Chain A
Amino acid sequence: MRSEKINRVPLGLKIAAAAGLAFMHLPILLIFLYAFTTEEKTYQFPPPGLTTQWFAVAWNRPDVWAALTLSVKVAAIATAAALVLGTLCAAAVSQTRFFGRETVSLLIILPIALPGIITGIALRSAFSIADIPFSFWTIVLGHATFCIVVVYNNAVARFRRISGSLVEASMDLGADGFQTFRYVILPNIGTALLAGGMLAFALSFDEVIVTTFTAGQQSTLPIWMLEELIRPRQRPVTNVVAMIVVIVTFLPILGAYYLTRDGDQIAGAGK
């Protein structure tokens, strides 16, 4: 009797939780509706009519394609750099004990713990001091810096679960360090790295605050969207692009979740 009473959900809690979740999801669903609206000049609701013509218009826009390509390229290279650096760091922190270990963890988290504008303006002033012109690589440099932490978090969580005796057994059987890494460690951390990489990709693909400071004249997809937000030129195209961005970022997140859901620590718990 007692436990039954305790396990029944209070109505107030149910309503509050449902309302909270609705608050989180309805605005995103609205994006999907607006991608089909026939209204061009305003954000009128309800939409006067529905059409799919804006998808064709957006498809034929070279500036959208250029921004999309740049974003994908930047995200891919930044993710690759973050994968290498984050994994190295995670291996060092989880497999060994050394002086200043806590400091290293703090240093990795710092780029996303401090507001993005600080990272952005710091990089920008450093570029101007060192006379580095803005380019594709300055964007990548900034993105890789804050993507390291995502890979690191995922890899560290997985490294903790690999039992040390597994590595010792491999060594006892005569494998050298590289073979142990290739045949024992890598298969164990593989999915965590893939998940971390996907999240890093999503993070980089979506980043705007640091990018505004490191991009110069080029525009990534988020920069393109920001310009449309400040000075709208063709609202329906923006609507369509917004919807596509939602879909493109959802896929890696779902993928990362399914890759790590059996673990005690699931990917993406901290952005």
Chain B
Amino acid sequence: MTVVAESFVLPERRGTAGRLSDFFWRHPHVLLTVLLGPPLLWLGIVYLGSLFALLLQSFFSIDEFSGLINYEFTLATYRQLFSEANLDIILRTVSMAALVTLVSALVAFPIAYYAARYARGKWKALFYLAVMLPLWSSYLVKVYAWKLILAKEGILTWFFEKLNVLWLLDAWLALPVVGGNSLSVSYTGTFIVFVYVWMPFMILPIQAALERVPANLVEASSDLGGTPAQTFRHVLFPLALPGIVAGSIFTFSLTLGDYIIPQIVGSSRLFIGQAVYAQQGTAGNIPLAAAFTVVPIVIMGAYLWMAKRMGAFDAL
């Protein structure tokens, strides 16, 4: 008996690697620390540290005469943030983000639905790639493509001209808020580019949610006399909603913080991202820039909390 019992305990391994391996096996917490240490140190110091340093600066203020940062705790910068002009910027950005999210969902849904329910085998793979390639292709190139399209001498004007409906475009551009000199300097242009760049992020979460809807649920609905519209409204849409909310996290957050698109295609009125950029750059007012970044953090925090309650994270 004793011989058998002893053979259960292997002799100690030779070599440093062997002994180290045994040590980790006996002390899993040490192994965990070794594994998690480097990434957590990196993210904790580089990322959270920077974020914290930034947020801290929003409680400082800038000396109006010298332009230097006054390192004393104050809420003056936040008072400045809630001035009328800045509230205007925040409101403009949030409504743009909401509108972009809504339209992205409308455009993305049919693609996701087709891919989830009808595409099979080779077509499914093709659909996946057709969504992935634009999603991952260069952000700046996408924006640049739209600069080509929306330019006054570009393809869109040419297209409207060929159809003899140029007056339609002109009438739209003459409208007060959405219009402008040309599409590339109007809110309409900004909006189209936002939808184009962020919409692909909506497709895959919706598709994932729709794929989890059992086909016989839809059949049952129509067997019970539901019209396609009713089936959509009472069966498909509620089940797809977590996916839509999950996708909207991306479209909303990305629109909220973008400063390049409105700078390249858009009117001169600022969005939050541009305000942050201008405050930290030319204006040199880091405290106000920091206070501005708190706005998307708070909005996204509230948004994520709501999304979590709606079960959107299970759809990711």
Chain A residues in contact with chain B, CB under 8 A?
A: 2, 6-7, 9-10, 13-14, 16-17, 20-21, 23-25, 27-28, 30-31, 34, 42-46, 84-86, 88-89, 91-92, 96, 98, 104, 107-108, 110-111, 113-119, 121-126, 129, 141, 144-145, 148, 174, 176-179, 199, 202-203, 206, 208-209, 222, 225-226, 229-230, 238, 242, 245-246, 249-250, 253-254, 257, 261, 266, 268-271
What residues on A are CB-neighbors of B132 within 8 Å?
253, 257, 268
Extra inter-chain contacts (19) besides given A30-B145, A44-B153, A117-B276, CB under 8 Å: A24-B199, A28-B141, A42-B153, A43-B154, A88-B36, A89-B39, A92-B35, A107-B40, A108-B39, A113-B300, A125-B53, A126-B49, A126-B53, A177-B25, A206-B139, A222-B138, A225-B141, A226-B140, A257-B129
Known contacts A114-B253, A129-B53, A121 near B289 by CB under 8 Å:
yes
- CB pair B143–A229 under 8 Å, yes or no, is yes
Residue from the list A46, A89, A122 in contact with B35, Cβ < 8 A: A89
- CB pair A225–B140 under 8 Å, yes or no, is yes
- CB pair B297–A118 under 8 Å, yes or no, is yes
Is B133 close to A, CB under 8 A? yes
Chain B residue at minimum C-beta to C-beta distance from A20: B111
Residue from the list A85, A121, A179, A226 in contact with B293, Cβ < 8 A: A121
What residues on A are CB-neighbors of B297 within 8 Å?
114, 118
What residues on A are CB-neighbors of B259 within 8 Å?
117, 209
**How many angstroms from the CA of A7 to the CA of B108 in the assembled complex?**
21
Known contacts A28-B134, A250-B133, A45 near B35 by CB under 8 Å:
no
Closest 6 A/B residue pairs (Cβ): A115-B257, A16-B110, A176-B21, A126-B50, A177-B21, A27-B145
From 223 to 246 in chain B, residues with beta carbon under 8 angstroms from any chain A beta carbon are 228
**How many angstroms from the CA of A199 to the CA of B137 in the assembled complex?**
11
- CB pair A96–B32 under 8 Å, yes or no, is yes
Known contacts A148-B39, A226-B260, A270-B316, A124 near B280 by CB under 8 Å:
yes
What residues on A are CB-neighbors of B38 within 8 Å?
84-85, 88
**How many angstroms from the CA of A86 to the CA of B40 in the assembled complex?**
10
- CB pair A206–B138 under 8 Å, yes or no, is yes
Residue from the list A27, A46, A107, A230 in contact with B43, Cβ < 8 A: A107
**How many angstroms from the CA of A24 to the CA of B115 in the assembled complex?**
15
What residues on B are CB-neighbors of A16 within 8 Å?
110-111
Output the least CB separation between B60 and chain A (Å): 11
Output the least CB separation between B282 and chain A (Å): 14
A-B contact pairs, 27 of them (CB 8 A): A6-B218, A13-B114, A13-B118, A14-B114, A16-B111, A20-B107, A25-B134, A27-B142, A28-B145, A45-B148, A45-B155, A45-B157, A88-B38, A92-B32, A104-B40, A116-B257, A121-B276, A121-B280, A124-B280, A125-B286, A126-B50, A144-B42, A209-B258, A242-B138, A246-B141, A253-B133, A257-B129
From 185 to 232 in chain B, residues with beta carbon under 8 angstroms from any chain A beta carbon are 196, 199-201, 204, 215, 218-219, 222, 228
Is B96 close to A, CB under 8 A? no
What residues on B are CB-neighbors of A118 within 8 Å?
51, 54, 257, 293, 296-297
1/0 per residue B17-29: CB within 8 Å of A?
A: 1101110110010
Is B277 close to A, CB under 8 A? yes
What residues on A are CB-neighbors of B154 within 8 Å?
43-45
Is B263 close to A, CB under 8 A? yes
What residues on A are CB-neighbors of B53 within 8 Å?
122, 125-126, 129
Size of B's binding interface in residues, CB under 8 A: 100
- CB pair B140–A110 under 8 Å, yes or no, is no
Output the least CB separation between A36 and chain B (Å): 13
Output the least CB separation between A249 and chain B (Å): 5
**How many angstroms from the CA of A95 to the CA of B302 in the assembled complex?**
32
Residue from the list B13, B46, B249 in contact with A176, Cβ < 8 A: B13
- CB pair B137–A209 under 8 Å, yes or no, is no
**How many angstroms from the CA of A118 to the CA of B47 in the assembled complex?**
10
- CB pair B39–A208 under 8 Å, yes or no, is no
- CB pair B144–A117 under 8 Å, yes or no, is no
